[in-house]
Amino acid sequence: PAYQLAAQRAGIPSTVLYAVALQESGIRRNGRLVPWPWSLNVAGQSRRFATRADACAGLQQAMRATPHTRIDAGLGQINLGYHKHRFTGACDLLDPYRNLAVAAEILKEQHTPGEDWLLAIGRYHRPAGGEPAARYRRSVSRHLARVQGTRPAAAVLAARQETSP
């Protein structure tokens, strides 16, 4: 429901948002890959916390020791430095609804009408594109295919049609 709500408000496919969250914050729980809201990435190291309060404490500690452009938070792993204009307090990004709203906004901004959503997904990860964006697209396309119950190539077509009039 949170994914559908954020995606609907931003005008993007909910499956795209969910696939990105799986890539960014996915963990195995009870044999399934699920996005984890209390996830941080600090200078390339993933950190998972049991509660929002613990994640907030970890985030505040990281902010004292690490440049904010090296810290990502929440379901969509929103970068604190590059997206500081999108939130009031850093721990706000640990609110799943707020984090998904920000992630959906970023995806919408990176998408050009009529183009494959995977291109926007690549720019979500690395706006400059290149091989890092291509690797990210390939990885997210596998999540997208699984979420949609399709092959990766069919997932791209389905995502494109999901937002067509």
Sign of CA dihedral 142, 68, 104, 27: positive
Tokens of 141: 């396309």
The CATH number of 2-160 is 1.10.530.10
- Dist CA 97 CA 4 (whole Å): 11
Q: What angle do CA 57, 19, 123 make, to 5 degrees?
A: 85
Residue ranges per structural domain of the chain:
2-160
- Dist CA 113 CA 126 (whole Å): 19
Residue 156: per-residue pLDDT: 53
Residue 1: per-residue pLDDT: 83
Confidence band for 149, pLDDT divided at 50, 70 and 90? confident
Q: DSSP secondary structure string, 88-154?
A: SSGGGGGSHHHHHHHHHHHHHHHPPTTS-HHHHHHHHH-TT-HHHHHHHHHHHHHHHHHHHTS-HHH
pLDDT of residue 92 exceeding 70, the answer is yes
